[in-house]
Amino acid sequence: MNYAEVFEGLTELTGDNVILRPVCLEAADELFEATQESREQLYRFMPWENKTVDDVKAFIERSLRQQKESGEFNLVVREKESKRLAG
């Protein structure tokens, strides 16, 4: 199944406490900061370098290419009330 087709035009999915949105370059700074807060716990699960904001931008650009090519995509998780990035 090509999920890019299923979720084409998706802007967000909203639950009781969280919002899921497709990853985008505009979230790079915030995503970098969020991962730095939990670096020790996250790095063993992260298949990409995350030492600079440019590393995060490169990851997002790869994700966007993969979305177009294979339908694979990444989402960001935000707290619904505060809109703060949670993952």
Extents of the domains making up the chain: 3-79
Tens digits of residue pLDDT in 30-73: 988 887 877 777 777 776 667 889 988 998 999 889 888 887 77
Contacts of 16 (CB under 8 A, 6+ apart): 80
Tokens of 57: 């931008």
Write the class of the CATH domain 3-79.
alpha beta
Q: What is the pLDDT of residue 2?
A: 60
Residue 49 vs residues 5, 8, 56: alpha-carbon distances, Å: 29, 28, 8
Nearest to 76 by CA among 10, 8, 20, 15: 20
* Helices H / strands E in the chain, number of each: 4, 3
Angstrom distance (rounded) from CA 20 to CA 8: 14
